[in-house]
Structure 1
Amino acid sequence: MEGGGGTLSEIHQSAKKLLLRSRDGLERLERLEYSAPAAAAVSGADSELSFAVKKDITQIQSLCVEMDRLWRSIAAKPQRDLWKRKVEQIAEEAESLRASLDKYNLRNQKRMREANERAELLGRANGDSAHVLRIYDEEAQALQSVRSSSQELENANALGEAILSSIHGQRERLKVIA
């Protein structure tokens, strides 16, 4: 633990440094989130930074417990009241940072879930569109087959009419001869 042990003043300084580092890390996370929303959801560096900020906040809270123990042992009431306010202020800031980090993590999880759902829907849509295209192709082939059959029937009908006409002509010639 950074700054573990030592005087109340030294621990307080360590906690303030960690607060600054945590605040800076959280601001970087939020800048990354709004500058590249899609990339922020999947970036490994973001999750490492988020973990580091969480670790720092936990460390600050541990230092607050230590400072709380130390300020209670101060004999002079004005000094004790001053340190009590300082420790409470750091604890409140740490809690505020933790809440902000939790909100960031929830937004990040939501973004990741939405990205996964979007990918799943697009995958399904692409699969369905391939199915629809296959059905369209099958219908187009069926329509072409119907057109071909219709043409063949017309050809067969025309051939039958030609044969009948030819037979009729032969019959007429035979009548004349007989």
Structure 2
Amino acid sequence: MAVEMGGGTLSEIHQSAKKLLMRSRGGLERLESLEYMTSTAVDSPELSYSVKRDIAQIQSLCVEMDRLWRSVANKSERDLWKRKVEQIAEEAESLKQSLDKYFVRNQRRVTEAKERAELLGRANGESAHVLRIFDEEAQAMQSVRNSSRLLEEASATGEAILFKYSEQRERLKRAQRKALDVLNTVGLSNSVLKLIERRHRVDKWIKYAGMALTLFVVFVFWRWTR
């Protein structure tokens, strides 16, 4: 007995529902294969939408078949169609639950991927900040080393200058003694000797002033390079 209703006979509707079940099952298997091929979120929007649409259509057909099998006159045939329709409905519900679980897993993976990206971004930012701190400290240490080197060079220059002044002082003393010996020998007057002594004192003050000026320059240079 072929019971008919707007969309066709019960048998035709049942065949359409079975075809949709096979197509939905195959689409869900392809989605799950894509899911397990990679640990990241992978989705095929067209395929998942197609599977969802087919399952919804199967459930609509089950509602229609549920009305149709109740119109079957023969009890044994009616019971048979009841079991067939219930089986289709159960399979459709199982596919729907599997698809819902797939959507939940995929959404969770999307969320985890976003969280990993945010954590990686923050980690990169903190690493860059630490590197900047190390770079600034390295620059400060290099500046201190440069200042210390310049100070040592300035100190060495000052010591060399003072050593030169000391040598000149000794040479001047020796020259003075020789000159006094010569003058005493030739019998120059006391006024000439006093003039030479005054000149010697002036030279000594000039020498001390030069030494003080050198020390002042070294001190200023040291303060400026700190």
- The question of a shared fold, defined as TM-score above 0.5 by the shorter chain, is answered with yes
Superposition map of 1:1-178 within 5 A: 5-38=7-40, 41-43=41-43, 46-174=44-172, 177=176
Q: What's the offset of the Cα at 1:67? A: 0.7
Is the contact between residue 4 and residue 11 of structure 1 (CA under 8 Å) also seen in structure 2?
no
Is the contact between residue 62 and residue 88 of structure 2 (CA under 8 Å) also seen in structure 1?
yes
Residue in structure 1 matched with residue 200 of structure 2 by the alignment:
none
Residue by residue over 1:22-75, the C-alpha shift from the partner in whole angstroms, topping out at 9 and shown as x without a partner, is 00000011111122443xx355xx111001000000000000100111111222
Residue by residue over 1:132-168, the C-alpha shift from the partner in whole angstroms, topping out at 9 and shown as x without a partner, is 2222222221111111011011112212222333333
Structure 2 spans left out of the alignment, 5+ residues: 178-226
Q: What's the offset of the Cα at 1:129? A: 2.5
Q: What's the offset of the Cα at 1:131? A: 2.5
Q: Higher mean Cα deviation, 164-173 or 135-144?
A: 164-173
Greater relative CO, 1 or 2 (CA 8 Å, sep 6+): 1
**CA distance 1:4–1:104, shift in 2 (3 Å):** farther
Identity among equivalent pairs (%): 74
Structure 1 spans left out of the alignment, 5+ residues: none
Q: Higher mean Cα deviation, 163-172 or 120-129?
A: 163-172
Is the contact between residue 55 and residue 96 of structure 2 (CA under 8 Å) also seen in structure 1?
yes
Q: Distance in 2 between matches of 1:167 and 1:77?
A: 134
Report SS of the residue matched to 1:163. helix
Is the contact between residue 21 and residue 55 of structure 2 (CA under 8 Å) also seen in structure 1?
yes
TM-score by length of 1: 0.86
Larger radius of gyration: 2
Cα RMSD of the aligned pairs, angstroms, is: 2.1
Q: Distance in 2 between matches of 1:112 and 1:102?
A: 15
**CA distance 1:58–1:5, shift in 2 (3 Å):** same
Q: What's the offset of the Cα at 1:111? A: 1.5
Q: Distance in 1 between matches of 2:12 and 2:78?
A: 16
* AA of the residue aligned to 1:157: S
Q: What's the offset of the Cα at 1:101? A: 0.5
